[in-house]
Amino acid sequence: MKLARMTFLTSIVLTLCFLSTVLRAANKKICVLADIHVMAPTLLDNENNKEWQEYLKTSKSMVDLSVPIFDAIINRIILEKPDILLIVGDLTKDSEVESHDFVLNKLTKFKQAKIPVYVIPGNHDRGWMQRALKYQNDTCTVAETIDNDGFEKLYVDYGYGADTERYGSTLNYMVEPFPGLTVICIDSGIWCTFREGSIDWVCEKAKAAQAKGNQVLVMMHHMLMPHYYYQNNIFELSIPTDYPDIREKFMQAGIKVVLSGHSHTSDITRYIDASGRELYDICTGSPISYPCDYRVLTFDDTFSKLSLDRKSVV
């Protein structure tokens, strides 16, 4: 068994199995965003707010620039003209209702450009967060946040509508955005855990998709498997505690690619088991963490190869 990392490569090509002879359009392009952490401008009365400045002293990210960076990356992705955009969680700073409303307003630009968008929630997208605050008059007050039901209702046009297949009442869903590809979206919760039965459902859907000749991409907010030694000791709850079991189930189901985020770093881990099967965990960095990454994935015309490019807005 072998675990390999590909941290510094900006462009690689993954060779996937050829699944069928079904005719498909060539060179399908997918853009991937993670951890945009947008903070609505209405949550801050002025940039010199004392409480806000104290917060910035402790922040490791450019959350104060989240809006102009998001604007820049929207423009860049529209110029890329992808067939779909996938956002793997942490759309907002800390689950504030005002931030979600702001993000949703911005996502309409992709609708206007006829670019379908599919999202999953991250740990900063629902529930109470300690730093979900509104800064006014040199102080701060608790901001209103949303829960799972609120997320589902807000993002009905971005994965939680009638065009996708849901797993019960969870925030897991499956979609076939175009012929030849199935995207299975997993809610890894706030603490990197899964609702009962979710993993088995993912594997069942992956097998069914491959049986009809589709390639499969799985996306989740947290990383599926370690990208460095002792990761869960250093970066607590960044991967599932039972990841070896989940990894094995995914490989048995023929899943080869998982798209993740959470770490704010673009990195790729490849796991090879004793029989030679491969599984890639492709983590995308955050636009509010230098160098402000996003990814562009391109399938070739046979859907047997997937090219990955890491791009930056700076």
* Radius of gyration from C-alpha coordinates of the chain: 19
pLDDT given at position 10: 59
pLDDT given at position 19: 47
Contacts of 223 (CB under 8 A, 6+ apart): 231, 238, 239, 260, 262, 263, 269, 281, 283
pLDDT given at position 25: 55
**Binned average pLDDT, 10 residues per bin, the chain of 314 residues:** 49 65 68 98 96 95 97 97 98 98 98 98 93 95 96 98 96 96 97 96 98 96 95 91 97 97 96 96 97 95 90 89
pLDDT given at position 26: 61
Residue closest to 3 by CA, chosen among 272, 310, 209: 272
Q: pTM score > 0.85 for this model? A: yes
In contact, 95 and 126? CB cutoff 8 Å:
yes
End-to-end alpha carbon distance in the chain: 38
> How far is it, in rounded angstroms, from Cα 25 to Cα 108?
26
